[in-house]
Amino acid sequence: MTPSLTPSLTPYDTGDRLEPQPWRLTDNDHYGYVDFDDDESATVFTIVGKRPDHNTADGSPGYLLSVSAYCDDTAVEIDGDRVLVLDEDTLAGLNTLVELAEQGTAVDADAWRLVQGTIKKIQGARP
């Protein structure tokens, strides 16, 4: 049997996977940056993993995965769980809801702890 002259398509060619394109190392600021391009060579995400500029909420140095998205239809998952990204207005709205709840009807202690933990998670604090 003779080998096929037609190359098989990769997941990058079909658009099933985004193709990683490491940045050229022109200076120290470019180390670790990777663009992920679609099958039309348009960048969908740029990512970099690094130490954050400041410690996390619990004081540990930790790590930061920074993702820049260049299209509207994107989502992020960490360990299989979708990450919810909220803007400042949404966070303010959630805080307002909590304030209204504090002034309104009584909430049992377990439900209140759940609400507080959710807000901390949304704000980026570790539980």
For residue range 13-71, list pLDDT tens digits in order: 898 999 999 998 887 778 889 999 999 999 999 999 888 777 666 677 778 888 888 98
What is the pLDDT at residue 82?
A: 73
Mark whether 76 and 90 lie in a shared domain: no
Q: Mapped to the 3 state alphabet, what secondary structure does 79-103 carry?
A: CCEEECCCCHHHHHHHHHHHHHHHH
Mark whether 118 and 63 lie in a shared domain: no
For residue range 56-109, list pLDDT tens digits in order: 666 777 788 888 889 877 778 888 877 776 667 667 767 777 776 777 766 667
Mark whether 34 and 51 lie in a shared domain: yes
What is the pLDDT at residue 126?
A: 46
Mark whether 20 and 9 lie in a shared domain: yes
Angstrom distance (rounded) from CA 71 to CA 32:
22
> Number of folded domains in the chain?
2
Mark whether 75 and 127 lie in a shared domain: no
Mark whether 117 and 58 lie in a shared domain: no
What is the amino acid identity at position 11?
A: P
Contact 43, 18 (CB under 8 A): no
Mark whether 14 and 53 lie in a shared domain: yes
Residue owning tokens 């080998």: 3
Contact 114, 107 (CB under 8 A): no
The strand pairing partners of 76, in sequence order, are 83
Domain range for residue 122?
A: 86-127
What is the pLDDT at residue 127?
A: 42
Mark whether 56 and 109 lie in a shared domain: no
Angstrom distance (rounded) from CA 62 to CA 3:
50
DSSP-derived secondary structure for 8-62 = PPPHHHHTSSPEEEEPP-SSGGGTT-EEEE-TTS-EEEEEEEE--SS--TTS---
